[in-house]
Amino acid sequence: MAKTKLVYIWSLRNAAADKAGQFIAYKGEQRYMKSPLEYLVEALNETELGDAYELVTVIYDDDEGSERDRDKVGEYGFSCRPDGQWIYPAQLEVQGKLVNSLLRAVPSTYRRMALDAPERRAAKSAWEARLMDKLLTVGAELVVLDGLLVILDELVRPGAAFERKIVNIHPGITRIASPYERRGACATLDALYGARGLKVSDWNTMQTRPVPVVDMTGASFHYVDNGIDSGEVIADVLGTRIDPQDTILELRWNNFNHSLFPALYQGLAQMAGIRDRQQ
């Protein structure tokens, strides 16, 4: 049986913010911050997922010509260097191939433009066209987004070539009716404030208001549509207890290991018809 060709898309600047591939301070100890990509590679190498999927390309959208992106990526840079730090072990292999050999850049250069620039919409459309061309070239059948810091539009519209072929792993519960719902780029920080009995009402000023304490969070694996984390949920896991004294990285580590990795596995397993077994 032929394997489904899988493409992984992320933003290096998001992985850099997580200190992916490094040891972080955790409650007076040091713990390794494994990225979702490194977890996925291990799952493809060691579990039934590897019988169902072949990882063919890893795409990042970071713009090496952007000073802002260079600053956010920092010491990681835009590729693995022999003497530098990287987001996963330099010799990491997936199904017999070096992960580094699968890396491809499709820079979202339109982000250099002001949000209200009249030419920005056309530039974003051109970027999505380049991204679609790359996906078609490698024969992508399923695309996993992880920490992609842009919103897809044309690729996932009803009737588009990749409608219901692009999924996202999100570090929060996205079901709108859930009392644990946390959508958007600030989902982890939102959850941490919630465990402290606070809700951020303005992310620009960080103004807060008191709310009932919610001390759990999780992760969702869902289809990507034109909204923000609003697509149909395929699998979600509510498995992360929040300590109000957590740092953002401590909570990220917990949520990755207790909710996001299991949701990623369960979602891909369900799509492949593999009996659900939490990893």
Give the C-alpha distances (Å, rounded to integers) separating 11 from 25, 178, 196, 228. 23, 28, 29, 16
**Which letter does DSSP use for residue 173 in this model?**
B
d(CA 185, CA 201): 15
**Residue labelled with tokens 């060709």:** 5
Spans of all domains in the chain: 4-272
pLDDT at 276: 56
Count Cβ atoms below 10 Å from residue 10 Cβ, excluding itself.
24
**CA pseudo-torsion sign 253, 172, 90, 272:** positive
pTM attached to this predicted model: 0.96
The helix-helix angle for 187-195 and 248-255 (nearest 10°) equals 110
Strands (E), 158-204: 166-170, 198-202
Architecture of domain 4-272: 3-Layer(aba) Sandwich (3.40)
Residue 15: CB partners within 8 Å, gap ≥ 6?
21, 35, 37, 76, 87, 147
Locate 87 and state its tokens: 């987001």
pLDDT by residue, tens only, the chain of 279 residues: 799 999 999 999 999 999 999 999 999 999 999 999 999 999 999 999 999 999 999 999 999 999 999 999 999 999 999 888 999 999 999 999 999 999 999 999 999 999 999 999 999 999 999 999 999 999 999 999 999 999 999 999 999 999 999 999 999 999 999 999 999 999 999 999 999 999 999 999 999 999 999 999 999 999 999 999 999 999 999 999 999 999 999 999 999 999 999 999 999 999 999 975 544
Locate 76 and state its tokens: 């990681």
